[in-house]
Chain A
Amino acid sequence: MSDLSFDGYAPTWCPGCGDWGIRVGIKSALEQLGFDPSTLFISFDIGCSGNMNDFINGYAMHGLHGRSIPTAVGMKCAHHDMNTIVIGGDGGIYGEGGNHFLHACRGNHDITVIVHDNMVYGLTTGQVAPTAKKGFKSKSTPQGIIEVPVNPLALAITQGASFVAQGFAGDARSLIEIIKAAVTHKGFSLVNILQPCVTFNKINTYQYYLKNTYKLPEDYKSGDKKEAIAKSMEVHEEKYPLGILYREEKPVYHENIPQLEAPLVTRARFTDFEPFTSSFV
Chain B
Amino acid sequence: MRFNWKIGGEAGFGIMTSGLVFSKIATRSGYHIFDYPEYPSLIRGGNNTYEVNVSDDEVHSPKWDIDLLVCLNKETYDLHKYRLHEKSMVVFDPEMFEPEKPFIKVPIGFTKIKKDEKIDQMMVNTIAVGASVALLGGELEVFEKIIHQQFDKKGKEVVDFNLRLAKIGFDEASKNSVQKQEILKKKDVVKTKMVVTGNEAFSLGTMAADCRYYAAYPMTPASTVLGALAAWQYKNKMVVRHPEDEISVINSALGASFAGVRSAVGTSGGGFALMTEALSYAGIAEIPIVVFLSMRSGPATGMPTWTEQGDLLFAVHGGHGEFPKIVLTPGDPEEMVELTLKGFDLADIYQTPVLIVSDKFLSESHKSAIKEVIDKKMNEHVIDRGKIVSDTKALPYLRFKHEEDGISEMLIPGKKGVFYQANSYEHIEDSHTTESGEERIIQVNKRNAKTNTYFKNHFEQPQIFGELNDAKTVLVSYGSNKGPILDAQKMFPDSSVAFIHFTHVYPMPQEPIKKLFKRCEGKRIIHIENNSHAQFAQLLRMQTGIDLKEKLLKYDGRPFWPEEIRDYIQGSKVQTDKKIQDNQEMIAPEMKEEKLDEIKSQQEQDLLSKLEIFSKDSD
Contact = CB atoms under 8 A, between A and B. Distances in A.
A38 to B, nearest CB: 5
A228 to B, nearest CB: 24
B285 A61 contact: yes
A1 B418 contact: yes
Interface in A4-61: 4, 8-9, 36-38, 41, 43-44, 46, 51, 53-54, 57-61
Interface string A155-169: 000000000000000
A275 B233 CA distance: 13
B8 to A, nearest CB: 25
Contact of A38 (B255, B281, B415): B415
Contact of A70 (B239, B243, B259): B243
A154 interface: no
A60 B421 contact: yes
Interface string B197-235: 000100010011010110100000000000000001111
Interface stretch (B297-305, B423-431, B490-498, B544-552): B423-431
Interface in A258-281: 258-260, 264-265, 267, 269-278, 280-281
A2 interface: yes
B244 A61 contact: no
Given A38-B417, A41-B413, A259-B239, A67 B260 contact: no
A46 B245 contact: no
B403 to A, nearest CB: 18
Interface stretch (B50-58, B67-75, B154-162, B246-254): B246-254
Interface in A64-107: 64, 67, 69-79, 82, 99-100, 103
A1 B419 contact: yes
Contact of A277 (B261, B277, B375): B375
Contacts of A75: 255-256, 258-259
B237 A64 contact: no
A1 B239 contact: no
Given A59-B414, A270-B236, A72 B255 contact: yes
B378 interface: yes
B316 to A, nearest CB: 21
Contacts of B212: 78, 264-265, 267
B371 interface: yes
Nearest to B196: A280
B420 interface: yes
Q: Tell me whether chain B's interface is mostly helix, strand or loop, or mixed.
A: mixed
Interface residues of B, number: 74
A78 B371 CA distance: 32
Contacts of B255: 43, 61, 70-78
B282 to A, nearest CB: 10
B549 to A, nearest CB: 42
A227 interface: no
Nearest to A259: B237
B195 interface: yes
Contact of B424 (A64, A79, A265, A275): A64
A123 to B, nearest CB: 12
A281 B192 contact: yes
A63 B28 CA distance: 51
B374 interface: yes
Contacts of B379: 271, 273
A69 B432 CA distance: 21
Given A265-B412, A270-B207, A82 B259 contact: yes
Contacts of B204: 273, 276-277
A171 interface: no
Nearest to A67: B251
Given A2-B397, A270-B210, A280 B419 contact: no
Nearest to B423: A62
A3 B413 CA distance: 14
B237 A270 contact: yes
Contacts of A4: 417
B248 A277 contact: no
Contacts of B235: 275-276
A46 B261 CA distance: 25
Nearest to A66: B247
A87 B260 CA distance: 21
A64 B287 CA distance: 14
A74 B263 contact: yes
Q: Which of B193, B232, B239, B378 has the most CB of A within 10 A?
A: B239
B416 interface: yes
Q: Which of A9, A71, A79 has the most CB of B within 10 A?
A: A71
Contact of A1 (B193, B252, B420): B420
A82 B252 contact: no
A64 B280 CA distance: 10
A116 to B, nearest CB: 18
A204 to B, nearest CB: 28
A260 B252 contact: no
Given A2-B395, A67-B247, A75-B259, A53 B200 contact: no
Given A64-B277, A100-B244, A280 B200 contact: yes
B422 interface: yes
B307 to A, nearest CB: 22
A187 to B, nearest CB: 18
A99 B251 CA distance: 13
A61 B258 contact: yes
A53 B421 CA distance: 8
B234 A73 contact: no
A59 B213 contact: no
Nearest to A265: B260
A67 B207 contact: no
B413 A82 contact: yes
Contacts of B423: 53, 62
Contact of B418 (A2, A64, A72, A267): A2
Contact of B248 (A58, A103, A267, A270): A103
B424 A62 contact: yes
Contacts of B195: 280-281
B237 A79 contact: no
Given A1-B396, A280-B194, A79 B414 contact: yes
A14 B248 CA distance: 32
B230 to A, nearest CB: 12
Nearest to A80: B259
Nearest to B258: A61
Contact of A257 (B28, B239, B245): B239
Contacts of A276: 204, 207, 232, 235-236
Given A77-B255, A265-B260, A267-B237, 16 more contacts: A4-B417, A63-B424, A69-B248, A70-B255, A71-B251, A71-B258, A73-B243, A75-B255, A78-B257, A79-B413, A103-B244, A259-B239, A277-B374, A277-B378, A281-B24, A281-B371
14 contacts: A2-B417, A63-B254, A67-B248, A70-B243, A78-B260, A79-B260, A79-B261, A258-B234, A259-B237, A276-B204, A277-B375, A280-B371, A281-B24, A281-B193
Q: Which 5 A-B pairs have the closest CB atoms?
A: A74-B255, A74-B252, A78-B259, A59-B413, A70-B251
Interface of A: 1-4, 8-9, 36-38, 41, 43-44, 46, 51, 53-54, 57-64, 67, 69-79, 82, 99-100, 103, 257-260, 264-265, 267, 269-278, 280-281
